[in-house]
């Protein structure tokens, strides 16, 4: 599919420097793909905000003790 974009000269020059052996179109497609992935990831992060309570955790009183207990009870650890 064709798409028309208006870009300023500095942006096109930076794009050309970055594209190297690839075509502009391939680089633009890859950058858009990455940008959309990032946007989706941020949507997921924002949607999950508040899903976990920020109080009442096992580790709230003594985080160091909680970590030591977790390590001690982990059967995969040796020593």
Q: What is the mean pLDDT of residues 4-27?
A: 92
Please tell me the least confidently modeled range out of 32-36, 37-41, 52-56, 70-74.
Answer: 52-56
- Its domain, for residue 28, covers 7-49
Name the DSSP class of 54.
S
Higher-confidence position of 59 and 36: 36
40 falls within a domain: yes
67 falls within a domain: no
pLDDT in tens, 63-72: 999 999 988 8
31 falls within a domain: yes
Q: pLDDT at position 79, please?
A: 60
Count of domains for the chain: 1
68 falls within a domain: no
CA distances from 50 to 1, 9, 10, 45, 47 (A): 40, 44, 42, 10, 8
pTM for the whole thing? 0.61
């Amino acid at each position: 599919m064709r798409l028309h974009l208006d870009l300023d000269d500095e942006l096109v020059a930076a794009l050309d420097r970055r594209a190297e052996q690839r075509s502009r179109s391939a680089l633009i497609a890859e950058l858009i793909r990455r940008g959309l992935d990032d946007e989706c990831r941020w949507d997921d992060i924002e949607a999950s905000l508040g899903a976990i309570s920020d109080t009442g955790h096992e580790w709230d009183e003594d985080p160091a003790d909680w970590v030591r207990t977790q390590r001690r009870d982990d059967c995969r650890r040796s020593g």
